[in-house]
Amino acid sequence: MADDVPTSAPLVVQTFPDPSQAITIFPAQSSHADVGPPFSEDHCIPYLLVQLSCENGSDRHTARINRLPPEILSEIFLASLPEPNTRLSHYRDYLTQVLRITHVCGQWRSLGIATPRLWTYLQFIRSSPGVIAVAASWLERSGSQPITFVIRTDPVSFQRAVDLLAPHAARWKQAYIHWQRPRSQGHSPIPHSNIASQITSLPLLERLSITIYQNSGFPSIFRIAPKLRTLSIKHVGDIGEYSVPWKQLEHLSVDEVLLGNCLEMLEQSQDLLTLKIQYLQTRVGPGRLQLAISRPFADIPHICLAFLTTLEINSGSDGGNPFDLFFDHFTFPSLTQFYLRRASWLAEGTYLTLASMLSRSSTTTPLVRIALDIGLLFGRWDRLADILRTTPHVANLELCGSDDDPARTANAFDVLTISDGRCLLPELHSLTYLPKNSVGNYNALATMIRSRREGEKQGTVSGLRSVLMESPVLAHETRRIKHSALTRLRRYAAEGLLSLPGLNG
């Protein structure tokens, strides 16, 4: 029941034998600050208020809630919990709500302790004896329910947490493991021999996030996890030898991976729906790149991920990433969303292989959303046109980066302007442009919006519904905007089409 209830809407539980009375659970608002202990703004802990509503609204005594059957009250407890989140602040919210529930009265405490699902989320930030004792108590109270946990500790505390959790491995549902190396010990290996001896299979594990610094090793315990569908790996370096059930994954996020590893990994991951990648390249000499691959690069076949709908690529912070090799090796027939972040580090010419990949992808379902870092273009906005020609069904376009040169941004807006029979992205509904500083050429922006409005009247394009832009220096630039263009932009803003903070300043 609790899993089906959105926290943004109230939950109404009908009671019997008098159906005129109902229990309504409301998300906590500031107007209810008089109920329960006060919290400062720094401790904005979300919690749900339980109120008993009668037909006449006159009787709302909490004591009457205790007349409910225990199973209904337990569900109310569960509905009041925030969703588990890996952030420490969210865990504190969860912990505080559990403690609040179980300290209202003796009856609620007994019922809370007897509700196993209240105790299924744990975090280990440090593992002192007191923390371990509390966690052991929670694990005991959680009974046979699936558990979610986060480990973000030093090696000593890590082993304590694993020793506590290992006997419950059959109940792991979501695991977030962050292996922190000691500053004085460099790359300290994970004691995976100890882990492997305690854990043989993970039958319920659905989501795994693991952060391990390079050369720290990677435990092999995850090779038998039949329900694992979502995997996030960070800072692991060479993952070529790791035992992971790639074939069954649907959602994969890899932060810092060598190209060769990436290709071999994705060759085995044919059922992926979403993929997020950030590259790590290891230079072994001037102009040479270690690809970390077990066979000749030319022997890797072209890879088609037939079910992938969302692809996000972050080029990282190292120059010369071999994205042209990546784009050359892939086709995504079902791709509907593509995001290319921090592309200013890409090698010049990569836009050609990107355009080629996009042109042969999205054949089953159209690509409707694309985000590009304008650094990819190296000031050549004709390259943007080359890319957008391959994606005629895009309805949502996002451009981001630091190129605020008025002449260059004029060319960018010109690419999207309907003129002389040229019309790119005829189905464009939403445009987001996020430069680091200036929007650039506001006159060209106004011309582009006007052309698309006229095109809509003529039936050549779909209507542009949203233009979102941000410029921290707009207040200093209004002088160089033509009066006619400024008037049009302000009119578009008044109509709700354009969002550009500071435009009326």
Query: Of all residues in the chain, what percent carry a pLDDT higher than 70?
Result: 68
Give the closest residue to 456 by CA, choosing from 426, 431, 432, 498: 426
DSSP 41-67: GGG----EEEEEE-TTS----GGGGGG
Among 206-210, 330-334, 383-387, 408-412, whose mean pLDDT is lowest?
408-412
pLDDT of residue 31: 34
| Separation CA 110–CA 277 (nearest Å) | 47
Handedness of CA 414, 416, 419, 423 (dihedral sign): positive
**pLDDT over 80 (residue 351):** yes
Check: CB of residue 396 under 8 Å from CB of residue 429.
Answer: yes
Contact 466, 492 (CB under 8 A): no
Confirm if 267 and 300 have CB atoms less than 8 A apart.
Answer: yes
Average pLDDT, stretch 16-42?
A: 37
The more confident residue out of 377 and 451 is: 451
Which H or E run contains 152? strand 147-153
Q: Which residue has the tokens 């005594």?
A: 61
**Contact of 371 with 342, CB cutoff 8 Å:** no
Helix (H) or strand (E) holding 253: strand 251-257
Q: How far apart are CA 500 and CA 291, in angstroms?
A: 44
Higher pLDDT pick, 479 / 274: 274
Instruction: Tell me phi and psi for residue 279, to 5 degrees.
Output: -90, 150
Closest CA to 144 of 125, 106, 170, 105: 170
Query: Beta-carbon neighbour count of residue 239 at 10 Å?
Result: 19
Banded pLDDT at 405 (limits 50, 70, 90): low
Number of Cβ atoms within 10 Å of the Cβ of 417: 21
What is the predicted pLDDT for the residue at 286?
Answer: 42
Looking at the chain, the whole-number percentage of residues with pLDDT higher than 90 is: 31
Distance CA 257, CA 279 (A): 5
Least confident of 242-251, 406-415, 470-479: 470-479
More confident residue, 253 or 320: 253
Closest C-alpha among 157, 152, 161 to residue 179: 152
pLDDT at 29: 37
The rounded distance, in Å, linking the Cα atoms of 118 and 109 is 12
pLDDT above 50 (res 393): yes
User: Helices 88-101 and 106-113, interaxial angle, to 10°?
Assistant: 120
13 falls in which pLDDT band (50, 70, 90)? very low
Q: What is the DSSP string of 198-241?
A: H-S--TT--EEEEEE-TTS---GGGGS-TT--EEEEES----TT
The DSSP letter of residue 5 is S
Rounded Cα gap, residues 204 and 228, in angstroms: 8
Give the pLDDT of residue 154: 75
Confidence of residue 449 (pLDDT cuts 50, 70, 90): very high
Antiparallel, parallel or unpaired: β 310-314 and 274-279 = parallel
Residues with Cβ within 8 Å of residue 389, at least 6 apart in sequence: 355, 424
The pLDDT tens digits for 85-134 are 767 677 888 888 898 888 888 888 999 999 999 999 998 887 677 888 88
pLDDT for 119 equals: 95
Q: Which of 54-68, 89-103, 244-258, 406-420 has the lowest mean pLDDT?
A: 54-68
Please give the Cα distance from 80 to 7 (Å, whole number): 8
pLDDT, greater one: 202 or 178: 202
Tens of pLDDT, residues 41-84: 233 223 333 332 333 334 444 556 667 788 888 888 898 888 77
Q: Specify the pLDDT at position 411.
A: 77
| Each residue's pLDDT tens digit, 472-494 | 666 667 777 888 888 999 999 99
Across-strand partners of 172? Answer: 147
How far is Cα of residue 282 from the mean position of the Cα atoms in its chain? 27
Given a contact cutoff of 8 angstroms between Cβ atoms, the answer to whether 166 and 191 are in contact is no
286-327 pLDDT, tens per residue? Answer: 444 445 555 566 667 899 999 999 999 887 654 455 677 788
C-alpha span between 280 and 295 (Å, rounded)? 19
Examine the pLDDT at 162 and tell me if it is beyond 60.
yes
**Lowest-pLDDT range of 316-320, 330-334, 467-471:** 316-320
Supply the pTM of this predicted model.
Answer: 0.79
Pick the more confident residue, 378 or 301: 301
Residue type, 49: L
Give the SS3 label for residue 30. Answer: helix
Residue 299 carries which side chain, given as an amino acid letter? D
What is the C-alpha R_g of the chain? 28
pLDDT given at position 53: 30
User: CA 99, CA 118: separation in Å to the nearest integer?
Assistant: 10
Which of 241-250, 254-263, 347-356 has the weakest average pLDDT? 254-263
Angle at 457 between CA 452 and CA 458, to 5 degrees: 95
Torsion of CA 311, 316, 321, 323, to 10 degrees: 10
Q: What is the pLDDT of residue 257?
A: 74
pLDDT of the residue at 34: 34
Q: Report, as an integer, the average pLDDT of 382-386.
A: 84
Give pLDDT, residue 471.
73
In the predicted structure, residue 18 carries a pLDDT above the cut 50: no
pLDDT at 253: 93
Which stretch of 143-157, 300-314, 385-399 has the lowest confidence by average pLDDT?
A: 143-157
Give me the half-sphere count of Cα atoms (radius 13 Å) on the Cβ side of residue 274: 10
In the predicted model, what is the mean pLDDT of the chain? 76
Return the number of other C-beta atoms located less than 10 Å from residue 328's C-beta.
12
pLDDT (average), residues 458-470: 86
What integer pLDDT is reported at residue 384 of this predicted model?
85
| d(C-alpha 97, C-alpha 37), whole Å | 12
SS in 3 state form for 370-402? EEEEHHHHCCCHHHHHHHHCCCCCCCEEEEEEC
CA distance 63 to 65: 5
Measured between alpha carbons, how far is 291 from 283 in angstroms, rounded to an integer? 9
CA distance 469 to 306: 34
Of 17-26, 71-80, 261-270, the least confident: 17-26
- Which of the residue ranges 13-27, 134-148, 442-456, 478-492 has the most confident prediction, judged by mean pLDDT? 134-148
Residue 335 has pLDDT above 60, yes or no: yes
Please give the pLDDT value at position 184. Answer: 52
d(CA 388, CA 432): 15
Report whether 231 contacts 205 (CB < 8 A): no
**Where residue 470 falls among pLDDT bands split at 50, 70, 90?**
confident
